[in-house]
Amino acid sequence: MSEAIEPPRGLVIAAGGWIIFSAITSFGFQLPLHPSPSSLTPSIRMLLLTCAVGMMIAWPLVRLSQTSRDRMIIRTIVDALTLAFLWQLIIWPLRLGTPWPIERTLLLDLLVIILLAGSAGIIAAASALQSSLVRGIAMICCILLTVGLQIPLAAIGFTPMGISSVFLANIFQGGVPSLLSCMNSPASLPESSEWESLVAYGIFNGALCLVGLAFAAIASALTSAQANQVASGRRAG
């Protein structure tokens, strides 16, 4: 019988510490004398942003720095689901301190979950291989997925102009810039273009997740088959 996957207690503790640190950094130790949505919204934006960065960069960094273990695909999925549930406990209660309508909060919620799915696919694919180079490249991909391609391309002097496709524009923009743009007008309902951008970004990250999980499953199956073949050869010898 296969060994059951242990609950990610370490991930929950580390995520809780990250949330506490982010809250202290965002709000400080002293709240405004007269708390109101206008005074709390900037701090809440910072808290959500730091939590999203923790899920998109800190989690992949820790997971990719670990040695490969059994059932890495299931472990990665469990980690992603755990972070997704923790994200719900953060974003929806904080809505009470902002003027955000439910539609705006839902847009922010889905955006981070979509990013989390893309990162999970990258982590699963890289964790299936015993290669430090592949894991380093996977970490770079997670960073680019978070910050987008505009900043790196601008750093080398190349600025993409005239991108009319919604799909390509969202790939270039990245997760954090998309999150910031969604929080720029928190009091208004999301426009149709924002939902279209979310759908395009969801298609890209969903495909990235499925391809990564499929690659990890195939690589794990091949590794297991080779291990069984070696074990059979030793017994026969």
Q: Is the pLDDT of residue 3 over 70?
A: no
Per-residue pLDDT of 86-106, as tens digits, reads 999 999 998 888 888 899 999
CA 162, 189, 35, 85 torsion: positive or negative? Answer: negative
Per-residue pLDDT of 141-184, as tens digits, reads 999 999 887 767 667 766 655 555 555 666 677 888 888 888 87
Per-residue pLDDT of 195-227, as tens digits, reads 988 998 899 999 999 999 999 989 888 877 765
Average pLDDT, the chain: 83
Per-residue pLDDT of 20-40, as tens digits, reads 999 999 888 776 667 777 778
